Amino acid sequence: MKPILVPTDFSDSAENAAWYALHIARYMKTNIELCHAFLVPAEYSMAGQAAFPAYDYSTLKAETSAQLVDLARKLDEKNHTAASKYSFHPGIKCVSEAGVVPEIVGKLVEENPKQLVVLGMSDIGATAKFILGSSSRNLIEKGGFPLLLIPSGFAFNEVRKIAFATDLRAEDIKVLHSLAGFARYFDAEIVVTHVSDEKRQSNKHLKREDEFLSNITSKVDYDKIFFRRINNSRVSEGLDWLSSHGHIDILVMIHRPLGFLDRLFKGSYTKNQADHINIPLLVFPEGLHPLF
């Protein structure tokens, strides 16, 4: 199994995400890789004089590398404290490079294709900030890798139930197959979830639902998959209810350009879901298969 990549800006939220990733790594019997992207300020002059001193690449790299080593040491100390509960002890690697987050993460994932990336979300409007921020939006749209977002302060719990949100597209079966590989590490249930207003359900829609479930049975080799229909005319409200009341440990969605995830995170949908999501959100790019 490839190492889990954890971008960090050394914030409390990022450290919490790294600790969550370390728990995940124990179950998956893999290592984690902490990475930090730093910018080298360009020196420019004003009236013939330098306005700001220029930091050279080696100085910044040394400073951020030292911060990464400190974070790795802190995580490793906590890891050893809890090691008696687990049979596998993940290693921690550190990478510090000049550039922007999507560029550095993309480079590292290119070296290890289909690598899981774990990222922390900040406190207020977390999902909105992440989804709409230029760097992080780029990670989702062009990353080509699964991205696990951890709410600030979220404490790791055993992953026992994973909800997979779908609009019943045939291609979702491939991603569900990959998700089953992930769920096996935790022996977790997968709840295939479809949000639909029963007042608008037609025989054609119900037939499509039956065909989707039939494809799951025949194409996905995992015996802990269940189906749940949530009656709501608004997808974001249905998933918000599920994450708050469904005893779900991870919510999984597929990102499609101008598709399901984009519709969910537009306008009031963005604010609605971002203000209430309180569990990890795993985003798969469309068609990523196989994975785990």
- Section 2-9 average pLDDT: 93
Domain final residue pick, 150, 171, 205 = 150
pLDDT at 276: 53
Give the contacts of 258 (CB within 8 A, at least 6 positions apart).
none
Please give the residue that has the higher pLDDT: either 8 or 136.
8
Is the same domain home to 245 and 270? yes
Domain final residue pick, 94, 117, 150 = 150
Please give the residue that has the higher pLDDT: either 82 or 208.
208
**Per-residue confidence at 258, pLDDT binned at 50, 70, 90?**
low
Is the same domain home to 69 and 195? no
Is the same domain home to 119 and 233? no
Domain final residue pick, 150, 183, 205 = 150
User: In this structure, is residue 279 part of a structural domain?
Assistant: yes
Is the same domain home to 135 and 263? no
- Residues β-bridged to residue 147: 117, 283
Please give the residue that has the higher pLDDT: either 226 or 203.
226
Nearest Cα neighbor of 38 from 13, 4, 63 is 63
Tokens in use for 267? 């306008």
Task: Indicate the SS3 state at residue 128.
Answer: helix
Is the same domain home to 169 and 280? yes
**Per-residue confidence at 264, pLDDT binned at 50, 70, 90?**
low
Structural domains of the chain, count: 2
Please give the residue that has the higher pLDDT: either 40 or 270.
40
Residues 86-127 pLDDT 10s:
678 899 999 999 888 888 898 898 888 778 999 887 654 444
Is the same domain home to 192 and 238? yes
Q: What is the domain extent for residue 105?
A: 4-41+54-150
Is the same domain home to 165 and 143? no
- Whether residue 237 is predicted with pLDDT greater than 90 in this model: the reply is no
pLDDT at 271: 36
Please give the residue that has the higher pLDDT: either 178 or 80.
178
How far apart (Å, rounded) are the C-alpha atoms in residues 240 and 35?
31
- Whether residue 265 is predicted with pLDDT greater than 60 in this model: the reply is no
Please give the residue that has the higher pLDDT: either 237 or 273.
237
Please give the residue that has the higher pLDDT: either 180 or 124.
180
User: What is the phi/psi pair of residue 149, to 5°?
Assistant: -100, 125
- Whether residue 240 is predicted with pLDDT greater than 60 in this model: the reply is yes
How far apart (Å, rounded) are the C-alpha atoms in residues 181 and 120?
23
- Whether residue 128 is predicted with pLDDT greater than 50 in this model: the reply is no
pLDDT at 132: 40
User: In this structure, is residue 155 part of a structural domain?
Assistant: no
**Per-residue confidence at 30, pLDDT binned at 50, 70, 90?**
very high
- Whether residue 77 is predicted with pLDDT greater than 90 in this model: the reply is no
**Per-residue confidence at 225, pLDDT binned at 50, 70, 90?**
very high
Is the same domain home to 222 and 143? no
Answer whether 120's CB lies under 8 Å from 209's CB. Answer: no
**Pairing mode, strands 49-50 and 92-98:** unpaired
User: In this structure, is residue 90 part of a structural domain?
Assistant: yes
pTM given for the model? 0.84
* Sign of the CA dihedral with 262 first, then 267, 271, and 272 last: negative
User: In this structure, is residue 214 part of a structural domain?
Assistant: yes
pLDDT at 45: 44
Is the same domain home to 105 and 230? no
Is the same domain home to 146 and 8? yes
User: In this structure, is residue 292 part of a structural domain?
Assistant: no
User: In this structure, is residue 136 part of a structural domain?
Assistant: yes
Is the same domain home to 74 and 179? no
Phi-psi region of 24 (alpha: psi -120 to 50; beta: other; left: phi over 0): alpha
pLDDT at 123: 53
Answer whether 281's CB lies under 8 Å from 148's CB. Answer: yes
pLDDT at 260: 53
Give the domain CATH number at 248: 3.40.50.620
Q: How many other C-beta atoms can be found within 10 angstroms of the C-beta atom of residue 114?
A: 16
pLDDT at 124: 44
User: In this structure, is residue 46 part of a structural domain?
Assistant: no
Is the same domain home to 29 and 96? yes
